Amino acid sequence: MSDKIAVTTRQHFDNLESAPLFSVNPGVPIDEALERAADLMLYVESLAAADAFINKSLEAAIIQTLSEMAKALLNASKKQAANAAP
Number of domains the chain is built from: 1
Do the beta carbons of residue 67 and residue 61 sit within 8 Å? no
Does the residue 2 lie in any domain?
A: no
Does the residue 67 lie in any domain?
A: yes
Query: Quick check: 2 pLDDT over 60?
Result: no
- Provide the domain limits for residue 45: 11-79
Burial class (CB in 10 A: 0-12, 13-18, 19+), 74: buried
Query: Quick check: 9 pLDDT over 50?
Result: yes
Query: For the segment 11-29, what is each residue's pLDDT rounded down to a tens digit?
Result: 999 888 889 899 999 999 9
Length of the chain: 86
The confidence score (pLDDT) of residue 4 equals 82
Query: For the segment 29-74, what is each residue's pLDDT rounded down to a tens digit?
Result: 999 999 999 999 999 999 989 887 889 999 999 999 999 999 999 9
The confidence score (pLDDT) of residue 26 equals 96
Burial class (CB in 10 A: 0-12, 13-18, 19+), 67: middle
Do the beta carbons of residue 30 and residue 73 sit within 8 Å? no
